[in-house]
Amino acid sequence: MIESAGFDHAQEAFDFVELLDKLSSPDEIMNQMEKSLGRFGFENFILTGLPNPHQKAEQMVLARKWPQGWFEIYIKENYVAVDPVVRLCRNSVNPFDWGEAPFNRDTEPRALEVMNRASDFRMANGFCIPIHGLTGYEACVSLGGVNLDLSPRTKPALHLMGMYAFEHIRQLMTQKNESRFDRLTAREREVLTWTAVGKTSAEVAEIMNLSKRTVDEYSVRAARKLRAQNKTHAVVKALQQRLISP
């Protein structure tokens, strides 16, 4: 978008940051990013952790609106290992234009390749905001497009918007994961309730009309969710946390 006289990038950034508090899902945040960042000309963006050598790049992604074809090529070619933007992101605390990420055209043909191929997917230029956690977590917010309003005036606004978007999505996804892993299902609670009154798993199986193997699976899953050492420990923890009644 061509900058109009009335476009106040600082106000845009603050409106965005304040709006984030009212959004309750990563999708809503992505939609808002599309609108707000669109006013700066950005079409695509990704919020992702940076993989260590033992992690897969695609599993680190928190959220993306990224050309699907490009994402697939990027993963298939393992470009994360040679991408100059990723390399600079790990080594910089300041945000930067993709074009500023240095590489040697003669000795790093794969780096040149990744930069050239990105342009084929309407990602001629972009802005990368590195995230460095307190205990070694590395991530980035990367924004791409063709006709960008990316100037010394607008960059501080984009910097702030990117960091707040990342934090809100990270928070929402952490909450989602915790509840998915930690909340007991009705069946798991029922198994623990019968176990708490002294029934063996064979007896519980009969009461609940399930196989003993299924009952054992419920116990194991409940124990894992409660971070308990065994079935008995799981019962104690469930009672303490009032997930089942004595």
Partner 1 sequence: MTQIHVVTSANRHLYEDTLDSYHRIRHDVFVTERGWRAVARADGRDIDSYDRGDTVYLIAIDGDRVVGGQRLTPTTASHMLGDIFPDLAAVKGVPTGPSVWEASRYFVVRERRSGRTDCMMLAAVQEFGLDEGITHYSAVIETWWLPRLQEAGFVVRPLGLPTLIENQWALAAEVEVRESSRDRARALGGITGSVLVRRGPQIPLIPQVEHAT
Contact set with partner 1 (CB under 8 A): 10-11, 13-14, 17, 93-95, 130-137, 156-157, 159-160, 163, 166-167
* Nearest approach, Cβ of residue 67 and partner 1 (Å): 26
Q: Which is nearer to partner 1, 179 or 209 (CB)?
A: 179
* Nearest approach, Cβ of residue 87 and partner 1 (Å): 17
What contacts 33, CB < 8 A, 6 or more positions away? 45, 65, 161, 165
Q: Which is nearer to partner 1, 167 or 216 (CB)?
A: 167
* Nearest approach, Cβ of residue 155 and partner 1 (Å): 8
Closest CA relative to residue 36, chosen from 65, 78, 79, 59: 65
Q: Which is nearer to partner 1, 118 or 129 (CB)?
A: 129
* Nearest approach, Cβ of residue 62 and partner 1 (Å): 13
Q: Which is nearer to partner 1, 62 or 222 (CB)?
A: 62
Gap between the Cα atoms of 149 and 142, Å rounded: 15
Q: Which is nearer to partner 1, 168 or 237 (CB)?
A: 168
* Nearest approach, Cβ of residue 198 and partner 1 (Å): 35
Q: Which is nearer to partner 1, 131 or 143 (CB)?
A: 131
Closest CA relative to residue 83, chosen from 46, 108, 58: 108
Angle among Cα 27, 177, 136 to the nearest 5 degrees reads 95
Closest CA relative to residue 150, chosen from 115, 99, 80: 99
Residue type at position 197: V
Which H helix or E strand runs over 105?
none
* Nearest approach, Cβ of residue 151 and partner 1 (Å): 13
In contact, 65 and 96? CB cutoff 8 Å: no
Gap between the Cα atoms of 192 and 233, Å rounded: 10
* Nearest approach, Cβ of residue 135 and partner 1 (Å): 4
Closest CA relative to residue 231, chosen from 242, 220, 244: 220
What contacts 59, CB < 8 A, 6 or more positions away? 51
Q: Which is nearer to partner 1, 165 or 204 (CB)?
A: 165
Gap between the Cα atoms of 179 and 51, Å rounded: 24
